Structure 1
Amino acid sequence: MAGHIRSSAEMVAGARARIEEVETKDAIAMVGRDDVLIVDIRDVRERQRSGFIPGSFHAPRGMIEFWVDPKSPYFKEEFSGDKKYVFHCASGWRSALTVATLQDMGFEAAHLKEGFSTWEEQGGPVERIPPADS
């Protein structure tokens, strides 16, 4: 039998204790700024269902470490600039773990504390993907 398995809640709490968290109202003020890249790590189906932050860059959670690493064959130029990177998911859990991992890699980033879940109700702009014609 394995020893104590650290819970996901413990992992998220540990990550949040050591990373920069951005409040929704502050992130809303960052939309459209050239020196900020908001990175959406949600699944494509979440973006289709709930919409997304205008100008955000979609980077699926499973590829983040590879897309950020300039030595990786999967590196994306979006991560080479001198910008403030703010990652988000739906509720702030996946993005907290992501940013903690990126911090371990030496990549500076922050995350949207509450995630996308309260974005629209706090006045954040949302773009929606039009439904496909049937």
Structure 2
Amino acid sequence: MTEMTMTKTVKDLVAQANREVVTISAEEALERLSHPDTTFVDVREGEEVAKTGRIAGALHVPRGVLEFQADPASPTHRDELGPGRRLVLYCASGNRSALAAKALVDMGMETVVHVGGGFPALKEAGGSVTA
């Protein structure tokens, strides 16, 4: 078996995503939470959400299925992620949400941002947490 040489690390991918997508502060994100055209999306794994809760009103869509649920042509599409929605993504630190936001932008979605600092920053900024 040969050893695979990686040309990009996950750190490289996150840095590239952060150059290509909009990062907003937790405070700015929470201001958007009440907008009727905005969907907060928690892209953490189910175990993480079960352990810590999520921001009240956020839709839980694990990172691994996000593109499928965002694609209107997919049988697992969710309307909350559809065209005309403003998406605010967050994870545990801001890395997965940056990658997720980039993937959605690459799919053609224009109104996608992610929260720098993720869930802890949202909690610290006063975000209401629900189970």
Taking structure 2 as the reference length, the TM-score comes to: 0.90
Aligned residue in 2 for 1:84: 86
Query: For 1:16 and 1:122, how far apart are their aligned partners in 2?
Result: 21
| Alignment-mate amino acid for residue 69 of structure 1 | D
Q: State the Cα distance separating 1:120 from its structure 2 match.
A: 1.5
**Ranges in structure 1 where 5+ consecutive residues have no aligned partner:** 130-134
Q: State the Cα distance separating 1:24 from its structure 2 match.
A: 0.6
- The answer as to whether partners of 1:40 and 1:57 remain within 8 angstroms in 2 is yes
Query: For 2:125 and 2:72, how far apart are their aligned partners in 1?
Result: 36
| Alignment-mate amino acid for residue 3 of structure 1 | T
- The answer as to whether partners of 2:83 and 2:109 remain within 8 angstroms in 1 is no
Q: State the Cα distance separating 1:76 from its structure 2 match.
A: 1.2
**Identity rate of aligned residues, in percent?**
34
Q: State the Cα distance separating 1:93 from its structure 2 match.
A: 0.4
Indicate the SS of the match to 1:119.
Answer: helix
Q: State the Cα distance separating 1:2 from its structure 2 match.
A: 3.3
- The answer to whether the aligner puts 1:10 opposite 2:12 as a matched pair is yes
Which range moved further: 40-49 or 76-85? Answer: 76-85
Indicate the SS of the match to 1:3.
Answer: coil
Cα-Cα RMSD: 1.4
- The answer as to whether partners of 1:31 and 1:54 remain within 8 angstroms in 2 is no
Residue by residue over 1:64-114, the C-alpha shift from the partner in whole angstroms, topping out at 9 and shown as x without a partner, is 111111111111111225221011111000010111111111112111111
- The answer as to whether partners of 1:32 and 1:55 remain within 8 angstroms in 2 is no
Indicate the SS of the match to 2:15.
Answer: helix
- The answer to whether the aligner puts 1:124 opposite 2:127 as a matched pair is yes
**Ranges in structure 2 where 5+ consecutive residues have no aligned partner:** none
Which range moved further: 71-80 or 34-43? Answer: 71-80
Query: For 2:65 and 2:30, how far apart are their aligned partners in 1?
Result: 25
